[in-house]
Structure formats: structure tokens, C-alpha cells
Structure 1
Amino acid sequence: MSDATATSSMDQPPTEAALRRMPKRDYMNRRQQMFFRQRLLAMREKIEVDLATYRLALQSDERQPDDFDLASAEEDRRYLLRTIERNIGLLKKVDGALRRLATGDYGYCLESGEPIGIERLLARPTAEYSIDVKARQESRERHYVHHRS
């Protein structure tokens, strides 16, 4: 393999399969960061396209001839608004993950500082907590909700 080929392949993000095969000691190396940056940017682009589509759908001002159609249209609007809110929340998480990538904090639990892990990041690229910390948080939330009701 020539030096140019070796350099060019190192300048490309790895495939998901190659990412999974990397040794744990290489966690959050430059190529892994490139992979997740590319994935997060693609997520961001898709969310922005979806938001534009949803907003256009909200702007359509069709007059509904009867009460049933009006009620159905109103329910559709509420659904669209909830979807927009969820997408805006996800967009904020993606932007936060991109900021953590830029500062070198991406891939590490915000609470424990431990690695989140490649598998978890592949499943949820915006993950902020390791699976153990997240499980404890959810357990506390369930306990709190259970005791409040």
C-alpha cells in the first residue's frame, strides 16, 4: 500500500463494521470522531428537512367544510406540533453532541466521565450517559414517580 493510499484511508471515517472491530484502547480516536461527526451531521440535516416539511404542512390553511373534518384537521395540527417539538429537542441533542465532539468530550458520560461505548453510541449517537448511569437515573425517576402517585 502506498503512503498516499494509507493517508487517504486514515482521512476517511471508518465503516460501522470497522468501527466495531477497533480495539477498546482506540476509543474516540480521530477516525471514530470523524465517523460520529458524519453521522450526527447527517442526522441534523434530516431533522432540518423534516422540520421544514412539517412547518409547511402547518402553514396550509385549508378550510374544513364540517365539524368532523375540522376536528380531524385540528388533531392533525396537534400531532404535527408535537412532532415538531420532538424534532427540535432532538436537534438540540445533536447540536450538543457536535459541541462535545469539538471539545473532545463526546463519547464520555457527563456524570461519571467513563466511556459511553461504541455500541451505545451507534444505537444512540446523542447519548450523554453510560448505560449504567442512565439505568440508575431511570430507576430513580421511576421510584420518584411511584412515590408521588
Structure 2
Amino acid sequence: MSLTEVHFSSIGGELSKADIQAMPEEDYMNVAQLAFFRRHLMAERAELEAHLQEVKATIASHERDADEADQASFEEELRLSLRQADRESRLIQNIDAALKRIESGDYGYCEETGEPIGIPRLLYRPTARLCIEAKEREERKEHHFRKARGE
């Protein structure tokens, strides 16, 4: 058992962001780190699902309002809520993909280069699939194609 695994098991598996960042580079994506990110992703997923259920309940419980101004106000709020729900649904898909990468052993490694994504980036965006360099290349390509299309 490695020092990290001993530390992980001795505190019940609940590591903080600081604990994760303090680990040496050679411990990258060890059992403790994977468990930390799995818990973090599952918690975020649960929050998103709860919010989506609230949006669905709001839509289902709304009765048409006789007052046109109130109805218009509700429809605008609904439009914004649906846009947010769409973003959250896509984020849930990204979280599910990240959880699958944890299970397969690919989590934390760039899909393009195979290099480590890095703990700081994963703490900021736990669903990241690309290292910073690959992400920047992707964004430059997207910007170039948008510019070429006149967007």
C-alpha cells in the first residue's frame, strides 16, 4: 500500500481539494484522487438533477394566467429556465462521460495527447477531456471556422 493509500484510508476517504493538490505528481490519478473526483462529480450530478426536477415541477404546476402581463412574465421566466435546464442536461451528459472515464482508467488524461490534464484544471472543470494546450488548439480551430463562415 502506498503512502497516499494509507493517508486516504486513515481519514476515511474524505480528502479536500488542498489534500489532492498537495499530492506528488507521481501519485497522479491514484485511488484517492479518483475517489475524490467521483464523489465530486456525483454530488454535482445530484444537484443538477434536483434542479431539473424543480423546473419540471414548476412547468407542470403552472396554470394559465388570465392576466396577459403575468402570463408573459411567466413565459419569459420559463424560457430562461428551459435554457438553463438544457445546459444542465448537457452538463449531466458530460458528468456521466467523466464517470465512465474514471471507471475505465482514462480520467485525468487528455483524449487528444494522452498527457495528464492536471489537478488544477480538473478541480476547476472536473469534466475536462482535454489538457489546456489541446483545448486551446480546439478553440483556435473553432474560432477560425466561425470567422471563415462570417459568424
TM-score normalised to structure 2 length: 0.89
CA contact (8 A) 2:21 2:120 kept: yes
What is the deviation of 1:13?
Answer: 4.0
Question: 1:133, 1:18 → 2: CA distance?
Answer: 27
CA contact (8 A) 2:110 2:129 kept: yes
Question: 2:34, 2:8 → 1: CA distance?
Answer: 17
Question: 1:121, 1:13 → 2: CA distance?
Answer: 17
Unpaired runs of 5+ residues, structure 2, are 1-5
Is 1:41 aligned to residue 42 of structure 2?
yes
Call closer, same or farther: CA 1:6–1:124 in 2, change over 3 Å.
closer
Fraction of identical pairs, as percent: 43
CA contact (8 A) 1:44 1:94 kept: yes
Call closer, same or farther: CA 1:89–1:26 in 2, change over 3 Å.
same
Q: Who is 1:132 aligned against? A: 133
Question: 1:120, 1:7 → 2: CA distance?
Answer: 22
Q: Who is 1:119 aligned against? A: 120
Q: Show the 5 A alignment for 1:15-30.
A: 15-30=16-31
Aligned residues: 145
What is the deviation of 1:67?
Answer: 2.3
Q: Who is 1:141 aligned against? A: 142
* Structure 1 residue runs of 4 or more that deviate by more than 3 Å after TM superposition: 5-8
Q: Who is 1:105 aligned against? A: 106
Question: 1:8, 1:110 → 2: CA distance?
Answer: 30
Question: 1:12, 1:142 → 2: CA distance?
Answer: 42
TM-score normalised to structure 1 length: 0.90
What is the deviation of 1:87?
Answer: 0.8
Is 1:96 aligned to residue 97 of structure 2?
yes
Question: 1:66, 1:36 → 2: CA distance?
Answer: 48
Matched AA of 2:98: A
Question: 2:87, 2:35 → 1: CA distance?
Answer: 26
What is the deviation of 1:85?
Answer: 0.8
Q: Who is 2:63 aligned against? A: 62
SS of match in other structure, 2:46: helix
Call closer, same or farther: CA 1:64–1:12 in 2, change over 3 Å.
same
Question: 1:116, 1:46 → 2: CA distance?
Answer: 25
Question: 1:10, 1:79 → 2: CA distance?
Answer: 43
